[in-house]
Amino acid sequence: MLNNQHIDIIKSTIPLLESAGPALTVHFYQRMFTHNPELKDIFNMTHQQTGRQSVALFEAIAAYAKNIENLSALTTAVERIAQKHTSFNIQPEHYQIVGLHLIETLRELAPDAFTAEVEEAWTAAYLFLAKVFIDREAELYLQRKQAVGGWEAARAFIVSEKTQESELVKSFVLTPKDGESVLDYIPGQYIGIEVQPTGSDYNEIRQYSLSDQPNGKHYRISVKREGHGTDQAGLVSNHLHDFVQVGDEVKLYAPAGDFMYQERNKPVTLISAGVGVTPMQSMLELLNSSSKAEAVTYLHACEDSSQHSFSNRVQQIMDTNGWAAKTWYMKTENEPCEHTFEGMMNLEEISRLESFSEGDFYICGPVGFMKNIVEQLDSLDVSRDRVHYEVFGPHSNF
């Protein structure tokens, strides 16, 4: 049981954590994968190599320590992480393993400071937080298992369509092998897909946003080719692009995610860059089929027209409904026009649209792009409660 004495001790160790920095979590992961290599089939090993996961975990540990007396401040982060964990099929026994290696890491890196009292406090704190996650994830697993078309753990799907959407993006339609229905989702959410890439010793699980509206029959993901084929950063995306074909089998985990379209009877602005277009496409398809849809503005940025995914479909939807679509290319083949601009996305150019005064904004793309867009919205006096965004990989706030 976490008590006041434990809380005081945890707070006293914050300087120790900050002095250790991400090196603490690098040591933790190295230790855990050495003793429990089977977890390499669950964790994203690309993020291990790039260091992103170590930094994200350190920031999470530091945030927990700093908010140990006000855990309500972490509610959003807990929900986001719990959703992500379910797409990896994280189970209670995994928390036992992580807890063991976290405590041993603290002991090994700070043997003089890691007294019996500190160990007791951090053990109590970890068990308390682990229970929060375990309980929430159990709720999510049960909800999805009991829902129409739902399931638990991995489920076999067949690739029924594979389509080139742009120079770097291919879509995959995934149909359940058992022929039964699939669980509905809310546009903006993602799905976990498990494959064993060619030449890899481990299974790899990745999350990809669903890029169509729910239909109860199948799912669609749209995957950007990353890296250069042999790069760890592109391990799964290149495998999907080059080796997974129509008729092949993959494993999926039920849809998850806390970034989702919210029906609020207001104008909607969908803003994306690059492959961040995928959840926006799902939202757009839903809005297109809805009799209650308000005015929609669709803003997209990418390198050039060859990398512009779904451009024809988007224009068809926008023309049919009389909605506004604007595109920014870093380089254009033709002169910029009323609907196409060159360079970085600049919201000043469309800030007179109705959506800016009262609508909701959904944003997805590279972190730098989204940070810039949020700053632009701030400068245009758009309140943060109208701004919703999604970050791929270890999460960031800005």
Annotated catalytic sites, by residue? Answer: 95, 137
8 A C-beta contact, residue 295 and residue 355: yes
* Residue 229 zone, left/alpha/beta (φ > 0; ψ -120 to 50; rest): left
Q: Are 299 and 269 in contact (CB under 8 A)?
A: yes
Q: Are 191 and 218 in contact (CB under 8 A)?
A: no
Give the Cα separation of 130 and 133 in Å (integer): 5
Parallel, antiparallel, or unpaired for β 204-209 and 190-195?
A: antiparallel
Taking alpha carbons only, the member of 313, 308, 310 closest to residue 327 is 308
Cα–Cα distance measured from residue 146 to residue 27, given in angstroms and rounded to the nearest whole number: 40
- The distance in angstroms from the start CA to the end CA of the chain is 34
The DSSP symbol for 230 reads S
